[in-house]
Amino acid sequence: MITAHALPAKESVGEPTAATRHLCAGVYVDERFRDLVIDEVCTAPYRRVAPSYGFDIVPVMRHAWRAAALSAVLRSALVGAVVVPALTGALPCAVLVGCGLALLWLLRVTRVLREADRERQPKKVSKRREWEHAIINSDFLGLLFPDRKTQKPPVFRRIRVVALSVAATGAAVAVSDPSQALAALAVAAGMVVVCLGVGATRQLMLNHIYRAQNLRPGRLSGRQRAADLQQRHACAVYRRPRHSEDDDNDEEDLTFFTLFGDTSPFIGAGELIYQWNPPMGIQLLRPSDDDGASLHDLEHREPPFQAHELVDHLREAVRLLDTDSQEVRLPTQVRDRVYVAETDVAADPSLLARPLDEAELRDVINTPGTRRHHFLEVTTPMAGSEYVATVLLRVNVQGRTLSISMAACVLAHTPRSFQRTEEFGQHGAMAVVWSAFRELRALPKEIQKSWRVVRHLGALGKAAVLPRDLTSEPRRNLLVGSRVSIRETSSQAWSKVQLEKSEILGQMKTIERRLLRAASDFLSTKDVDISEFTNRAMKIINSGIFNFGDNNSFNNNAVGDSAHVGVAGNQPVGSGAPSGGGNQ
């Protein structure tokens, strides 16, 4: 029985998962993340949206635009406070407002330089503030303060001289034209009101995200509809790594043993932490008590089953885990996922022409070596999908042999800043007031970012001009593979996950053991000798050669000509278990 790909049950009925809420909140608190959503999802119709695991991308897109609009309003007000008076003939007012903003900006520069001066030992600058230091160390400031690196005290003295000069200029203009000074005060008061309003509105949106039962808009825009269909689609379009002839670094990294190289093809599923390397290969032989029976007599001339029959059996076996009572239930969602390389889509656009029906999906499963690679995908969420473990299993019947491969990926929790609204005192009426005054306190920082209003206008222009979807029809020189998964970008690294790690690994092993046992039962019913399969399965379950993302262990290995490894007497030589792959 083949089932189409679908989102988790909570998302299908409209109730957002915790991961969806946190990602929606993230676009308000992290401008880099907001720009990523707008640039790579909202205004990138020429690329496929990565599959969504445990979250819905549509409300994230909606709130990304709202967050950008709030920032654009404040920055437009700052720019307009200087430009509009100058264009309307009130040049003294524009000069006074500009002097006030310049003083606030110099205050910001002084504070950043003092913080850098206190750091006696070099430390890694956070990504959020890299652009601030880049502006401060720009060529413009180099002309203004040429000796700021070698002679720090003169830097601050020169900043004070510039600040006094700006203040003196403003005072002279105010004394010469008091009416313009009053107008400048009115403009400044308007900027304060706008700033307070933007801060309060931002917190109100966060409160709404925290409490709302449904975050999806009632009516989707064209781009939102396209993204929604792509995140639910059974086919995922991945990028192949650059060809070795095109790569500048020809040296191979021999520290990782992996089937997929240094880039995981499972876009959106998270960090690849475990895989069978190489895949398990089992000859399709009949059971026999005669140890001397020949291969010709034991093997099935024709496969006793088709690959899709085994996949259907495994799907039903795993799905039963989600039907247990609440206290012992392991929440699992089973889907069929087909991976297609973007270069293959460019050569044969019909691979994405329409959704896969049952007959076509069975054909993909039963036909090895095609351009579409089928995986049975089993996901298990934790903590409202803040953690999502995904086990991907592939079945191949070819050459009178059954080949099974497995990989596991994990999406870890989002940053604390995305989740802070849920903390005590971070939502409600008082949080709105505090947010308004925090925005006012951050006004010097917004002055420094005011040029980014041009970037927002550019994004609006792209959204208005570009079509809603450029991936459904073939186009010359256009590769449509997914480049970025916003959920993966905001996910914590697997090596830094703590107590949840053991629970996630336990759930993955539970799924792996059930898949292996279900496959063993299926082979028994098809008159296939399972002795070799059972031996391989036990070695995989208790394998001592694997990688779970942050640790490599290599046991019973030998390197070099004529090298050998001592093996225990009760273990046959050459029966090593499949090993885990490298960290992605």
| Six-digit token string for 559 | 């390197």
Question: What pLDDT, on a 0 to 100 scale, did the predictor assign at position 295?
Answer: 79
Write 284-288 long-range contacts (CB < 8 A, 24+).
284/397, 284/400, 284/401, 284/402, 284/528, 285/528, 285/529, 286/527, 286/528, 286/529, 287/527, 287/528, 287/529, 287/530, 287/531, 288/529
CA dist 108 and 103 (Å) reads: 9
Question: What pLDDT, on a 0 to 100 scale, did the predictor assign at position 37?
Answer: 97
In the predicted model, residues of the chain with pLDDT beneath 70 are 1-14, 119-153, 244-258, 543-584
**What is the sign of the dihedral through the CA atoms of 25, 30, 32 and 38?**
positive
DSSP 124-176: PPPHHHHHHHHHHTSHHHHHHSTTTTT-HHHHHHHHHHHHHHHHHHHHHHHHH
Q: Looking at residue 496, what DSSP letter applies?
A: G
Helices (H), 212-292: 222-232
Nearest partner of 448 among 34, 202, 104, judged by Cα: 104
pTM of the predicted model as reported, rounded to 2 decimal places:
0.83
At how many degrees (to 10) do helices 178-211 and 429-441 cross? 140
Question: What pLDDT, on a 0 to 100 scale, did the predictor assign at position 77?
Answer: 94
Q: Are 242 and 540 in contact (CB under 8 A)?
A: no
In sequence order, the β-bridge partners of residue 235 are 338
State the architecture of 233-240+257-284+304-414+487-541 in CATH terms: 2-Layer Sandwich (3.30)
| Six-digit token string for 361 | 């999906």
Question: What pLDDT, on a 0 to 100 scale, did the predictor assign at position 274?
Answer: 87
Cis peptide bond prior to 278, omega within 30° of 0: yes
Question: What pLDDT, on a 0 to 100 scale, did the predictor assign at position 277?
Answer: 80
CA dist 331 and 379 (Å) reads: 8
Question: What pLDDT, on a 0 to 100 scale, did the predictor assign at position 73?
Answer: 96
CA dist 266 and 485 (Å) reads: 11
CA dist 460 and 229 (Å) reads: 22
Nearest partner of 505 among 551, 473, 467, judged by Cα: 551
Question: What pLDDT, on a 0 to 100 scale, did the predictor assign at position 190?
Answer: 94
Question: What pLDDT, on a 0 to 100 scale, did the predictor assign at position 242?
Answer: 76
What's the first-to-final CA gap in the chain, in angstroms?
A: 33
Residues in contact with 23: Cβ distance below 8 Å, sequence separation at least 6, in sequence order: 55, 60, 414, 418, 486, 487, 490
Question: What pLDDT, on a 0 to 100 scale, did the predictor assign at position 248?
Answer: 56
